[in-house]
Structures are given as C-alpha cells and as structure tokens.
Amino acid sequence: MSTLPPFESSTELYYGRDPHLDAWLLYFFTENNIEYAVKPDLNASPEQIRFMVDIGPDQVFAPCSDWMLKNLLGTHLSEPLKEEYKNEWRLLVQLVYENIEDRYTRKKILSLSRHKFRAALNSTFLIPSRLLKQLVTIFLCQCAVEDPMREKKRLMNKRANDFIYSQAFSSYLSACPSSTLGCQRIQDLRWKLDVLELRRLFSLSTCNMIWEEDMDMLDVRRFCEETNGFSTEFDSIMRPLIGPQALHPLRILFLPDTSGGIMFDLMIIKSLLRQGHKVILALKEGFYFEAPTFWDREFDPFFSMGLGDAVFLADNEVSKNKLLKTLRENSFVVISDGTRERLNLYRTSVTFARAWKESDLVIAKGTRNYRRLILNTHAFTRNIISYFRQPDGSLEMHFKKRSPRVIKITEKQILNKAEKIMSAMRRKRSEGELVMFYSAIIGSIPGQLKTARRVLNTFVGYLRSKLGGALIINPAEHFEQGMDGDDLMYMWEKVQRSGLIDVWRFQTVTDIEKSFELMGEKVPAVWLGKDATFSTGCTKEMHIALDVQKKHPELQIIGPSPEKFFRRRDYGIGKYFDASLDRA
C-alpha cells in the first residue's frame, strides 16, 4: 500500500481526492468496524454524525484524537502508540484475573486475546479502545457475568455518598468565601454564590481519593481545598453560558466519567436544575469498567437515591417528537449513549445523537472525553466544556465553541414557523377558500432530491393555475437551511393536526407523469411507477391524515388508497428517506 499523504489535522482528510488515501481510510474504518456502509445496523450514518460533528461532504471524521489518528495511519508502530495498546492490555489482564477463577477458562481467554492483541500490533490500524472493546466482549461471553465491577462501583458510590453526608463536606460546600462578595445587583450576587458552589462541586467530582479508598474525611477535605478551583478560568467559561447575562436557560447534555465521581456529578446537576437549566445525563448502555451504566440504579441504592426524580428514557431510537415532549415535561432526563466503550460517536444511539442535537451545551468529564472531543480538531455542533484532574492533582477546564457554520434550529423556531403557516390557513378559510395540503415524494428516492422538488413545484404550480379559491400548501416551499428530516416532520405534524386542512391530496403516478410532461421531459426510469406510497414521509402523513379524519370527518383524502402506504418503516436519522432503503 502506498504511503499516506502527510496531514497536520484530521480535518484535512477527504474521500475522493486520492485513491490511495481512500483505500487507507476505508481499511481503517472497516478494521475498527465503524464503517456505516459495511455495518449500517451498528454504526451511525453520516447524517447522524452531522447531528454532532460539523463535517462537509466527503470529509472524514475519526472517533479519536488527531494524535491517535496520525499514529494509527502511520507506517510503523510508534513507542507512544505501543504504550497505549499496553495500557489496554493491562486492563484486560487485570479484569480476567480478578473475575475468572477457573485456570482453563482464564488461559483460553488470555490466549485468544493475545492473538488479537498481536494482530493489532502488526497492523496498527485498530484504535486501542476498540481493541479493548473486542477483548472485553470475548471476556464477557466466557465470564457469564453481566457486570464484573458492579460491587466495586457500588462501593465507590457508597464512599462518595458517605463523604457527601459528612460534616467535612457540609462545612466545605457551605463555607462562606474568605472575602465579602461585592454586590451591585442581586442577580450578580446570586451568580457569584452559584458559581462558587459549582466550582467546589466540579473540584470534588474529580477527587478520586474520595471514592477509591477509605480515608479520613478531613484529610480528603484538606486535599480538595488545596486544589479547589479552576481559578478565573472557571468563571470566564461559565459566565457567558449560564451567568446573569445569559439570554435563556440551557439544555445541557452531561457525560460523566466514573462511578464515585457520578455522585458529585449528580450534585452538579441538581445545582444546574436549581438555576433553571434542563439536564440530560448520558450513561453507558453496558459494562465499561468503572463507568456508570443506565442499569446501575437497579443494583445500587446509593446511585438510585442520588438520581432522585430523574426520568429514564430507555428507548435507544426515540423519535424527535417523543424526545422533545420528554424534555418539555421533565427537567432531568437520563438516557443511555448506546455503547459499552469509550465515547465513540459512530456507535452512539439515535437517542444520544438527538439529545446532542437538542442540547445547547455538552459537559464532558474526564481525560477520555477530553481526548475524544477537545484533542480532535473537528468542530462540533454544540458548545463543549471538558474538565478533568491531572495525575499531579491540578485541575483543567477547556471550552470548545460550536462551529460557526452550524445553524441551530430550535423547537421554538420550528413551532413559530408552523404557527405562521397555520395563521395563513386560518385567514384563507375565513375568506371562504379551501385549504389543500399536497403530500409528495421529496427525499424518499436517494439521490433525487433536486428532481423531486422540481416535480413537486411544477405540479403544485399546475394545480394553482387550475383551482381557484384554494390555498395549496407545497411543503417544498417551506424548507429552511439547517432543517433536516426530523425538523420538517415535527413542524408539519403540528400543521397537519391543526384541523385546518380541508383537502389532503397525496401524489399519484399520474401526477408525476404530468409534472414531467409539463417540464418537457420523459419520466426517468427511477421515477417510473412511483407515487406517494413510496415515500416514508407520506406514509407517516397518511397515518396522521387518517387520525385527523376521525376527529374531523369532513376532511377529504385524495390519492392512492391507504392500505398501499403501510410498507414503509421510518426515516433514517437526519435523512429524508426510509432507513430500510439505506440499509438494503
């Protein structure tokens, strides 16, 4: 294989510019089992990745730091990379020896793992954390224990909980600042007290000594007091985001690090909730060493108690509608990220991707998240705060601003746009005109989006020229930059369920043929025999139309018969066409 062209940043890598680079990158993605085209049932689509990462057409995003990617795509095994592999190997060996008593089984697991480990060292294309994921999967299959660290994590949470209910913690968190806080406005004073509490909690949440061993409470407090802040860095990062000048409360996606620390993370979350923000806590789906999982609350009374009134959203493929409804009705929601490994956006769940997209800020704790989000030069779609404690005890906090190219369409903007459309519908009805909604193929034929819009616009223009006294709503005329399939379906459902539609017309084969005739073109092969029944969106809209007709029997539905529609499943996340088509 040819040498990889030199690059300084992972943002410089694109498909379609160098065949040797394309081959190299495809080998990297397939070796790490994160190539969507090969395993669409396991990996995030490019559209789902774009919910979280600002990547252009054909641009490459790797779920690791730039440093790691350069080493993995190099021509030889560097010593630092070798050390990364060794660290993961040590974690596995320790796990096996602590949990497998039978010598035969232990030797079998380690022997098989050693083969995979050596193969990884020879190819140097496998991300070390992905290698560990493979080895842990082998271990779990042989071990027959769902979570071998469940008791250890429970003990870590107990130690943290004991400290939280100690006098040492109470006096530390409640202690007044050494100097009197100046006050010109009550809002400023309230912020100074809030930020002081948050700074202390952020510091405590990284004091591993609290939960890693039994220690004297006062000794722990003294250690935390010696490194109890991020100096002015903390305030300068937090103030513009959640300070008194912030325009509105935030939706915050919180990514924790380990058990024990999670108990202090929950106190941070409670502080943020008290300040009026909403928080989504993303836990691991399954065992990943000391990381808290979505299911730990069922086995850990301390963790369960700390979660309090949180609402748990177990659906890993939740719709935008359901997610927004849950977030509207609840201030604290817990989800699973869909994985049992270090943060890997290619393996995160649809729910996690949608939660990221609906958030304003991501708080990512720990060095592992820091490497994946801050040390990767790609820009992300949301502001990110990363914080962790160095081995020497010093605290670090980093802020990564969301990409300026990303347009964030909020729920309020979508609802306002829907209301504007409904106002026009009410006005026309009050003037005695009929309202017709025209449902048609827009994005359900992959690669035909532009043609679909031409077909739709041409036929709606034809209808308007023929039908007087009717407002004909053309969905293609209401698209805005930044809106995806999720946003559009959410907006249109609000309009469609308003009861303001008199005639709901669904595109037929004849409609499409007439459009191409009006455009002076022959019907392309890919469009032959197509009608609204081919469209995922139209199928969802037929369900809605039939539902609305039950409440408003006067609604006329024109087009293909309803039973012909129900072969489509659902959108691929962020797409305009059926997920089953994309995976065929």
The last residue of a domain, from among 93, 112, 143: 143
506-517 pLDDT tens trace? 999 999 999 999
- pLDDT band at residue 583 using 50, 70 and 90 as cut-offs: very low
Highest mean pLDDT: which range of 3-17, 210-224, 290-304: 290-304
The per-residue pLDDT for 579 is: 46
Residue 3 lies in a domain: no
- pLDDT band at residue 182 using 50, 70 and 90 as cut-offs: low
Residue 357 lies in a domain: yes
Residue 4 lies in a domain: no
Residue 2 lies in a domain: no
As for how many domains the chain has, the answer is 3
DSSP output for 97-138: HHH---HHHHHHHHHHHHHHHHHHHHH--S-HHHHHHHHHHH
Residues 46, 51, 52, 57: what is their CA dihedral angle, to the nearest 10 degrees? 40
Cα–Cα distance, 264 to 284 (Å, whole number)? 17
Domain range holding 139?
A: 10-143
244/273 same-domain check: yes
263-313 pLDDT tens trace? 999 999 999 999 999 999 999 999 999 999 999 999 999 999 999 889 999
Cα–Cα distance, 541 to 501 (Å, whole number)? 13
Q: Are 306 and 205 a contacting pair, CB within 8 Å?
A: no
- From residue 278, alpha-carbon distances to 110, 264, 519, 536 in Å are 45, 17, 51, 32
**pLDDT at 3 exceeding the cut of 60:** yes
The per-residue pLDDT for 2 is: 53
The two three-digit tokens of residue 272, written as one number: 């943020």
Tokens 């008194």 belong to residue: 244
- pLDDT band at residue 577 using 50, 70 and 90 as cut-offs: very low
Residue 157 lies in a domain: yes
Quote the strand ranges of 224-284, DSSP E: 251-255, 278-283
Total residue length of the chain? 584
130/155 same-domain check: no
Report the percentage of the chain scoring pLDDT > 90: 70
Residue burial 168-177, b: 16+ Cβ < 10 Å; e: rest: bbeebeeeee
Cα–Cα distance, 86 to 92 (Å, whole number)? 10
R_g over Cα of the chain: 27
The per-residue pLDDT for 169 is: 86
Q: Give mean pLDDT, residues 125-154.
A: 93
pLDDT top residue among 252 and 393: 252
Q: Phi and psi for 198 in degrees, rounded to 5? A: -65, -40
271/187 same-domain check: yes
Q: Which one, of 3, 11, 6, lies nearest residue 375 by Cα? A: 11
Q: Are 507 and 441 a contacting pair, CB within 8 Å?
A: yes
The last residue of a domain, from among 107, 127, 143: 143
- Least confidently predicted of 392-396, 408-412, 467-471, 568-572: 568-572
**pLDDT at 124 exceeding the cut of 90:** no
Contacts of 505 (CB under 8 A, 6+ apart): 436, 437, 438, 439, 558, 559
- pLDDT band at residue 145 using 50, 70 and 90 as cut-offs: confident
201-216 pLDDT tens trace? 999 999 898 998 877 6
445: left (phi over 0), alpha (psi -120 to 50) or beta: beta
Residue 405 lies in a domain: no
- Look up the CATH number of the domain holding residue 368: 3.40.50.10880
The per-residue pLDDT for 417 is: 95
75/216 same-domain check: no
Q: Which one, of 382, 433, 391, 384, lies nearest residue 410 by Cα? A: 382
- From residue 105, alpha-carbon distances to 93, 96, 117, 141, 318 in Å are 13, 10, 18, 11, 40
416-441 pLDDT tens trace? 999 999 999 999 999 999 999 999 99
Q: Are 16 and 8 a contacting pair, CB within 8 Å?
A: no
The last residue of a domain, from among 143, 159, 185: 143
DSSP β-ladder status, 434-439 and 503-506: parallel
Q: Give mean pLDDT, residues 458-465.
A: 96
Q: Which one, of 511, 442, 524, 444, lies nearest residue 477 by Cα? A: 442
The per-residue pLDDT for 582 is: 45
56-115 pLDDT tens trace? 999 999 999 999 999 998 778 899 999 999 999 999 999 999 999 999 999 999 999 999
Q: Phi and psi for 327 in degrees, rounded to 5? A: -70, -30
The per-residue pLDDT for 285 is: 96
135/161 same-domain check: no
Residue 328 lies in a domain: yes
In terms of C-beta density within 10 A (0-12 exposed, 13-18 middle, 19 or more buried), how is residue 483 classed?
Answer: middle
Report the percentage of the chain scoring pLDDT > 70: 92
Per the prediction, the chain carries an average pLDDT of 90
The per-residue pLDDT for 167 is: 86
489/536 same-domain check: yes
- pLDDT band at residue 336 using 50, 70 and 90 as cut-offs: very high
Cα–Cα distance, 243 to 193 (Å, whole number)? 11
Residues β-bridged to residue 311: 333
- From residue 356, alpha-carbon distances to 102, 383, 404 in Å are 43, 10, 17
314/429 same-domain check: no
**pLDDT at 496 exceeding the cut of 70:** yes
The two three-digit tokens of residue 337, written as one number: 């990220």
**pLDDT at 165 exceeding the cut of 80:** yes
pLDDT top residue among 413 and 183: 413
375/416 same-domain check: no
422/337 same-domain check: no
Residue 554 lies in a domain: yes
The per-residue pLDDT for 1 is: 46
Residue 264 one-letter amino acid: F
What is the model's pTM? 0.87
- Sheet bearing 361-365, strands edge to edge: 311-312, 332-336, 278-283, 251-255, 361-365, 383-389, 395-400
Cα–Cα distance, 389 to 395 (Å, whole number)? 4
387/425 same-domain check: no
Q: Give mean pLDDT, residues 555-566.
A: 91
398: left (phi over 0), alpha (psi -120 to 50) or beta: beta
**pLDDT at 260 exceeding the cut of 60:** yes
Cα–Cα distance, 336 to 379 (Å, whole number)? 24
183/266 same-domain check: yes
- pLDDT band at residue 245 using 50, 70 and 90 as cut-offs: confident
57/192 same-domain check: no
Q: Which one, of 579, 530, 581, 584, lies nearest residue 559 by Cα? A: 530
Q: Give mean pLDDT, residues 165-171.
A: 86
Q: Give mean pLDDT, residues 207-227.
A: 72
Cα–Cα distance, 256 to 306 (Å, whole number)? 14
